[in-house]
Chain A
Amino acid sequence: MSTISVDPVPGRSDEMVVNMGPQHPATHGVLRVVIGLEGERITRAVPHIGYLHRNHEKIEEARTYFQVVPYTDRMDYVSGTQNELPVVLAVEDLLGVEVPQRAKQIRTIFFELFRIASHLVWMGTAMLDLGAITPFLYTFWDREIILGIVERTAGARMLPNYYTFGGVRRDVHPEFFKDVADFLDHMQRRMPDYEHLVLENPIVHARTKGVGVLSKERAIARGVTGPVLRASGVAYDVRKAFPYDAYPDVEFEVPTSSDGDTYARFWVRFQEIYQACKIIRQLLEQTPKTGPYKGKVSPRLKISGERYRAVENSRGELGVYVVGDGSDRPYRIKHRGAAFTNLQVIPDLFIGAKFSDAIAILSSLDPVFGEIDR
């Protein structure tokens, strides 16, 4: 299957080749890393992916544009609507649709809500990988509130299929703005607890500080994006660099850290939750309670031309390249996955680390296999 040899090296009896995954509790799905262990130290690490491959792009090329959007939900399944936005933006650009400002604001609120949801899932599973079981239960209860809000508006929890060309599929539910404000108040009460459990925990410090250091140069060379890149000291954020939707109208910071270690990646994700709350608060004030939620788009849309659009998903730059040949189906769709690209640093960070460190490093990369294997 792979050209990279995973067999034991002849004459090296001190190295043990271990298969970590695809059924391993800490690989966040179906990652398989073939690891050479010398005692507890990792000498080789070869990631193997593809156990969740479902031929995503080819399926999408056989569907109409409206049918493509729900498929994108299935990529990064913990951050719901975030996956729909690149396709929606690209098609809107090609069609030249006017999107109402209110629709843009609603889309951005959902985008940031799912960023919080995704980071909460990351926090719980990362602590589970470090051995603490309790934060997992706490974060999943909080995520449940977000999913409840999404369900009331969009009708589905994790795969909402909510964005559409020209805006959103339906208007938000009547108590939406109150629900979101309540949730933000709740998060404000919860975040000090999480800081106490995760960021200020001396055992977390011992496990993550100075572990898995990714240098700035290496991060750029590997094409890493998102919190992993920003933890290595590069302030690249698609929301700032190529603003889309309502991001030009809101104020927020891009948290960066120069350490590049596992703890820095933890810290950056925490700060992003705060920034997401800040963005949503501003948007709750700006967004009119009623108004148009969708621009005018013909249901029989035909597209010609090509376009690349990217958004800053919870894991980094999620892009899509759409090629239309004048029919109602895309000629070619290519997704650029953030988690997929971030996974490339596994050999860099794993080799030379302890086996327990590898678990911490992997959880700090926050891979989601729906998106990696597509």
Chain B
Amino acid sequence: MSYIPIPEDRHFRIKRIGYDPGRSRPWLERLVYSLYVFAFWGFVIATYAGVPALFDALGWTAGWGYVVMRATQVVLLFLLSAVIALMLILALRKYLGKVQERYGPMHYGPAGGIQTVFDALKLLGKEDFVPAAADWLTFRLAPAVTFVSSFAIFAVVPFASGWTLADTNVGLIYLIAVSTLSTYGVLLGGVSSGNKWALVGALRAGAQMVSYEIPLALVFLSVAVWGGSLSLGRIVDSQMGLWNVVPLFIPFVLYVISSLAELKHIPFDFPEAESELIAGYNVEYSGMSFAFFFLAEFVELFLLPALIVVFFFGGWHGPLFGLEPGTLAAGALQSLYFTIKTAVWVWIFLWIRATLPRYRDDQLMEFAWKAMIPLALFGLVLAAYMRLIWR
């Protein structure tokens, strides 16, 4: 038991306490993320202004030419959704790092900027395994159902005045129909996995959907009553002077809560609750099937904040500095406003994710049935009366 002195330089750990934000090069991070946002913006301009202009120039504006033009736009939007997923996964990881006093991805690309590209490549290279106990067809179909239903929301989102794939006059009903479908993907995927954890996760997703979809539909109804239309473009138009968040404050709050539940986002991430159900409905998925669940989740993480902006924060409205509405420059500026507003809401969602613990699943149901539905009905009646009085 002789006394062996320990050399001083072994005690580096006590000096390492703390975190040096400068080490992650914040200026480089800002540059990389601005590039991502500009890439996104460029995609939007190319899809909604570039493609129609190109087809106009070619003269393919009727019949099959029109179909090809729309198909090109859809393909571009698919690429856009991949960009969104890569961007948001990176943003989430970097932001969690900031909140948790660590650096997040730092090594692949400038300031970790292409880390998620490598993650996607890794997922591509993995075996797409189907367990023996799984129902093959349903198991294969479920990620597609989830992704398509999330992706289909893109069709009605107005990025700028007139920049919509389908400015249909039943936009809100379409939204309810399509976004409900994503729960089918989760349910089918969980039930067909042949795994008990996945089954519990899937049933939780079903129970959760039953509780938040009703207030969500009532919120849509309030928005439609106040805006005077079911078309998303018209709803944005009607917010010219005053954003809906002021008159429709109650539906706005309910919508934020319901979209957290629809996203399966903390504090309502019961279907996948990794500390309870390990990964819930997607526990048996691997490779690209898993990637599609993931892609759907992050596309929704963009689309639901985008819908908050459309319904309550004036969509693409913003000062145009004398530009003529309807021109390319005005559209580009409007889509930039839309992007910035959406980014703020995505950041709020990430903030919630970094901060809060999880509720219990029956607490959401109780909250939805006892508090949210009565409040949503009250908000609807209020919106109707306000419409009668002021419009």
- Please determine whether A155 and B99 come into contact, CB atoms closer than 8 angstroms: no
Query: Which A residues are CB-close (under 8 A) to B99?
Result: 134
Question: For A207, what are the chain B residues with a Cβ–Cβ distance below 8 Å?
Answer: 357-360
Is the Cβ of B275 less than 8 Å from the Cβ of A128? yes
* Leading 8 A-B pairs by shortest Cβ distance: A131-B358, A148-B14, A137-B100, A132-B357, A130-B357, A26-B275, A131-B357, A356-B360
Roughly how many angstroms separate A351 CA and B6 CA in the complex, as a whole number? 52
Cross-chain contact B1 with A169 (CB below 8 angstroms): yes
Looking at A87-95, A198-206, A331-339, the stretch in contact with chain B turns out to be A198-206
The one of A131, A151, A164, A357 in contact with B1, judged by C-beta atoms closer than 8 angstroms, is A164
Q: Is the interface of A mostly helix, strand, loop or mixed?
A: helix
Residues of A close to B204: CB separation below 8 A: 40
A170 surroundings in chain B (CB, below 8 A): 3
* Interface status of B159 (Cβ within 8 A of chain A): no
Does A131 lie within 8 Å of B275, measured CB to CB? yes
Say yes or no: A141-B357 contact (C-beta < 8 A), given A133-B96, A170-B3, A206-B363. Answer: no
Closest B residue to A23 by beta carbon equals B278
B144 to chain A, nearest CB (A): 28
Interface pair A148/B17, CB less than 8 Å apart:
yes
| Docked-complex contact B101 and A145, CB < 8 angstroms | no
Distance between Cα atoms of A148 and B6 in the complex (Å): 13
Q: In the bound complex, do residue A155 and residue B6 qualify as a contact, i.e. CB atoms below 8 Å apart?
A: yes
CB-based contact A130/B14 at 8 Å: no
- With contact pairs A141-B17, A203-B267, A356-B276 given, residues A132 and B356 touching in the complex (Cβ less than 8 Å): yes
Cβ-defined contact, A359 with B362, below 8 A: no
Q: Shortest distance in angstroms between B250's beta carbon and chain A's nearest beta carbon? A: 20
What residues of chain A have their CB less than 8 Å away from a CB belonging to chain B? Answer: 16, 18, 24-26, 37, 40, 66, 127-134, 137-138, 141, 144-145, 147-149, 151-152, 155, 157, 164, 169-170, 179, 201, 203-204, 206-207, 299, 354-357, 359
Closest chain-A Cβ to B207's Cβ sits at a distance in Å of: 9
* Minimum CB–CB distance for B19 against chain A, Å: 8
Interface residues of B in 152-206 (CB under 8 A from A): 196-197, 199-200, 204
Distance of A318 Cα from B204 Cα, bound (Å): 41
Q: Are B357 and A127 in contact (CB under 8 A)?
A: yes
Q: Are A151 and B197 in contact (CB under 8 A)?
A: no
Give the residues in chain B near A203, CB-CB below 8 Å: 267, 356-359
Interface, chain B (partner A; CB < 8 A): 1, 3-4, 6, 10-11, 13-14, 17, 19, 96, 99-102, 196-197, 199-200, 204, 266-267, 269-270, 273-276, 278, 354-363
A152 to B14, CA, bound (A): 9
A359 touches B276 (CB 8 A): yes
Q: Are B358 and A130 in contact (CB under 8 A)?
A: yes
Q: Which residue of B lies closest to A156 (CB)?
A: B6
Within 8 Å CB of B13, what residues of A? 144, 147-148, 151, 157
Could you write out 16 A-B pairs with CB less than 8 Å apart? A24-B278, A26-B275, A132-B356, A132-B358, A134-B100, A148-B11, A151-B10, A151-B13, A152-B14, A164-B1, A170-B3, A203-B267, A203-B359, A207-B360, A355-B276, A356-B270
How far apart are the CA atoms of A129 and B275 in the complex, in Å? 5
- Determine the residue in chain A with the shortest Cβ distance to B11: A152
Contacting pair B6 A137 (CB below 8 A): no
CB < 8 Å neighbour of B14 from A179, A204, A359: A179
Chain B residues positioned under 8 Å from A147 (CB to CB): 13
Contact check, A137 vs B102: say whether CB atoms are below 8 A apart.
yes
User: Does B357 contact A16, Cβ atoms closer than 8 Å?
Assistant: no
Q: How many CB-defined contacts (below 8 Å) exist between A and B? A: 106
The contact of B197 among A18, A144, A148, A179, by CB within 8 Å, is A18
Contact of A25 among B266, B278, B355, B360 (CB under 8 A): B278
Q: With the chains together, A99 CA to B53 CA distance in Å?
A: 90
Chain A neighbourhood of B96, CB < 8 A: 133-134
B100 adjacent to A133 (CB under 8 Å): yes
In the bound complex, CA of A172 to CA of B11 (Å):
14
* Given A131-B266, A148-B17, 4 more pairs with CB closer than 8 A: A18-B200, A40-B362, A132-B355, A134-B355
A63 nearest CB across to chain B (Å): 15
Q: How far is the CB of B4 from chain A (nearest CB, A)?
A: 8
A151 CA to B11 CA in the complex, in Å? 7
Of the residues B3, B196, B200, B357, contact of A204 by C-beta under 8 Å: B357
Contact call A299/B1, Cβ cutoff below 8 A: yes
Closest to B268 in A: A131
Docked CA distance A144–B101 (Å): 14
Complex: chain B residue closest to A171, CB-CB: B3
A16 touches B362 (CB 8 A): no
CA distance A132 to B96 in the complex (A): 11
Checking A16, A131, A138, A169 against B269 with a beta-carbon cut-off of 8 angstroms, the contacting residue is A131
Closest Cβ–Cβ distance, residue A185 to chain B (whole Å) = 13
Q: Which residues of A contact B4 (CB under 8 A)?
A: 155
With known contacts A147-B13, A203-B267, A152–B6 Cβ distance under 8 A: yes
Cα distance, A152 to B4, chains bound together (Å)? 12
B93 to A: closest C-beta gap in Å: 12
- Asked, given contacts A37-B200, A133-B354, A134-B354, whether A359 binds B275 with beta carbons under 8 Å apart, the answer is yes
Q: A25-B275, A37-B200 are in contact. Are A354 and B356 (CB under 8 A)?
A: no
What's the nearest-Cβ distance from chain B to residue A103, in Å? 14
What is the chain A residue whose CB lies nearest that of B12?
A: A148
User: Is the pair A145, B17 in contact by a Cβ cutoff of 8 Å?
Assistant: yes
| Residues of A close to B266: CB separation below 8 A | 131-132
